[in-house]
Structure 1
Amino acid sequence: MDAISTLPQREKGPAYIALIHDLLTRTDTVAVVSELHALVDTVVNQDSVGLVVGRQVLSELVKILGDGVVKDPELRKTLVEDTLATIQPRIVSYEEQVNILRFQLADILEEEEEWSEAARVLMGTSLDSGQRAMAEADKLRVYVRIVRLLLEDEDSIQAETYYNRAALLVHSTSDKETLLQFKLCQARISDYGRKFLEAASRYHELSYVGEIDEEERRQMLMAAVTCAVLAPAGPNRSRVLASLYRDERTIDLPTYNILSKMFLDHILRSAEIKSFESTLKPHQLAKIAISSNDRLASSGHDEDPASATEPAASSRTGPSTVLDRAVMEHNLLASSNIYNNITFRGLGALLDLTPGAAETMARKMIEQGRLRGFIDQVDKLIWFEGSREEDDAQGKAGGLGDVEDAEDTGALFTKRWDNQIRLTAANVESIVQHLTEKGLVKLTAVA
């Protein structure tokens, strides 16, 4: 290198480049690293070399490293890292070369499954300033890649920051691959943020995209089912469950059993929950905190001693995980289709909660419009209100036409009993009429 320093300025560049090629052909890796370090340090930090020659030599070195001339992955990684460290004091003058080196190092780290390290390397790239302004579509690709890498290590908080940056640039590209990766990141961010309904819809949408590999589409469909099951019970979740249940592909999934039971409002048993729990990712098993107000309300005991017919009360004051809460809310919603009313202790036994905690969960769901009913604090009962429309023929039993409402006696049980009799009579008449039309039944006049 001392001989090269005495050459005319226009000959220094080709001489340093020839020396790089010569160094990389040697077999002694330790010598290659040390001598290449000395060369880069001379080219970058010696004023006698000049910026033009420095950029020319560094560009060639970056190209050689990117073309795979160095076969040993560990040696290549060491050379890239050492070159980046050497250029650091003069990074402003060599931003373009540094960015390319960072992309190369990120590729190496990603191959080694060092997701967070690869993301941090990409975060250091200069995207908003430099010798050449980076196009918005290129920035979007970098941001989406950072989000994807961070989510691999479940760093959803930092991933959301870069996702928000990508969302501002998504209009700048029409590249299908980039847009699909962005939509997948969108679904995963919603998943990690416990916006399970939104995540389920996005996963389900992606599972129909033909450009995605079939196995990956199946994984997205499974993710959609999982998120739908974990979503808060209520009308919105029922619509998502219906969409998934009608999808013919879900019948082959291992989670189809719990999907069908959720959709059909069947009560889930502990064995089924355990089986489903084994398919969940760590963030979907995250612990949830109970507010101090809810804990105080949930820990209350019945003032009256439990009768011999009532089940023993549980000691749990609330759900412990996201899955726990989703299953409890579903079982509460399913019980509303079975019972007209239920005691706090009975619901607590069904949900494995204290009577106070069961009441608190029902109260919240009623307040949020996810459960139709009301609470009787005096009798310690939860009354459920039917959500189905009554039959059009109701009240027209016996061919008597519209039946006027009976006088309001204020007796709730009497009203319900009368309504059930009217509906049953109307249904019986409809069945007899259908059988008569088919000739299966012949009516005779009564003398």
Structure 2
Amino acid sequence: MLNALRALERGHIPRGRRTVILTNAGGAGIIAADACERAGIKVLSLPAAVKDELASFLPPEAGLGNPIDMIATAGSSDYEQALRVALSVTDSVIVIFRPPLILEEPTGAVAEGILRAIAEAPDKPVIVCTLSHGTAAARFIERLAREKIPTYTMPEAAVDALSVLCRLGELRSERRSVDMSPKPDRERALRLVEGARSEGRCALYFYEGAEILSSYGLPVCPYTYVKDVEGAAPFLKEVGFPLVAKVDSPGLFHHFERGAVIPGIANGEDLHRAIDHLIGLIASERLHRGRILLQPALFGRELILGMKRDRSFGPVLMFGVGGTLVEALKDVSFGVAPVSIDQAERMIRSIRAFPLLEAFRGQPPVELGPLAGALHRLGQLCLDLPSIEEVDLNPFIVGKHTAAVDILIKLKEQ
């Protein structure tokens, strides 16, 4: 697993299971090829045109099959040219460089040649094996490490890491058709994100998050902004009591801890007190962008849907028990976007509290299809909008009315 994590650090996933092995040590190349066969990785048969191109610069003694055995005298130019050729015909490359006893140039020069070739095909993973812990290998490894190129001592470890990358690529490509009507409005969502970034903000207002979610068909709790009780009258006529009042400010997190959420507003007197309290809070906390948000109180199962962008995996979705219990119970599951409907349902069923989503104390069971669809849509949203760093929909109420009640969306720092 640690081998795989090192390979994932660069974040490049192969599009398929084809690989080319490039080596200056024939025996190690054969070991790597055998390990690939056991792992289900295809050691690509090289076309004649590719062999001709390799023969144009490699010595006559070189082996032009796969593994490509460049023999022990191979230097930086050989590695750079051969790797460039290999990357043009395959999904990934395993590079084996065993520092020879006599080399006419520093091992760092070989590393530089490898890096130049990688720079021309940055979306294809290259896994490196050195067969050595010696001083010469250490300098070579150090240079590659600065560019997050994974290096391993033994060929089997390199192949194991590549196998994990291949499997991750296959999981990402698994999809099941889903009703995406209405069609996601990516342009609308992108305008909202870019609008916030143009103001130098890394967090969104509730209304911006609500519009982004709505652009992808995710349900949002009704809401309005008010300055006083009189301004709440039209909304109150529409939704009635009970209400929830809260402060909406891009710089305000952890609303409950800050006293910025007032639930259970049952009448006009409660509403008056709540608005007065929140006006005072905005002033005392100097929340110059703060606004008072009203929502109807929704009842049902409190869940959490979220996303955290990982440097290696990309958007990682989260599902679990929500509300104020999420940090105490830590009953959540994870999935790497995109998630199919099948994968989303497995995420939902995998939490310990899943029996609470079935028929329970007079409550009907939660319909898993729409809930899995919400996770699927959230994953697509986060893939389409790479500027979004984090999403936290807690609680996401599922019941008579299903909707995101709290919406926290953070953007990448500029």
Higher Cα radius of gyration:
1
Shorter-chain TM-score above 0.5: no
Q: Which has the higher contact order (CA 8 A, sep 6+)?
A: 2
| TM superposition score normalised by structure 1 | 0.27
Higher strand share: 2
